[in-house]
Amino acid sequence: MLKIITIPNPILRQKAKKIADVMDPKIQKLIPQMTEIMLKEGVGLAAPQVGESIRLIIVKYKDGSVAMINPRILKKSILKEWGEEGCLSVPGKYGEVKRSKKLTIRYTDEKGKAKTLNAQGMLARIIQHETDHLDGVLFIDKARKIVELNPNE
């Protein structure tokens, strides 16, 4: 079973490696495992959060999820908005992060097909948060008004 790693684990600060072979059995096994954790715990998950420094994210999408391999944001809207974010790898902390309202992303799906997706609102925010993980960036690096919840309260 995969385990969520938390700060200050150095993997969270590394630039993740591009996935060369989407059909690699290790990748094909990792996708459903990450999906299960993401659906249980949150709305998005990046491979570095489970200790794998590779360019793979899973995001909640419609009634399920979508795996994005080697995702690349092609375009972001100039219009941005502040929104509250938290992160499984930064437990107990929340803050406001300014993100583009819309974006266009290109990625490879788990079957090896190239896909392009236009996202807006919460989906666009989740994708930006998760792709930041692939570059070693955490939401706390961009957040204002960071609040720490006391687990004993």
- The set of catalytic residues is 130
How far apart CA 151 and CA 79 sit, in angstroms, is 36
CA 26 to chain centre: 19
**Three-state SS letters, the chain:** CCCCCCCCCHHHHCCCECCCCCCCHHHHHHHHHHHHHHHHHCCEEEHHHHCCCECEEEEEECCEEEEEEEEEEEEECCCEEEEEEEECCEEEEEEEEEEECEEEEEEECCCCCEEEEEEEHHHHHHHHHHHHHHCCCCHHHCCEEEEECCCCC
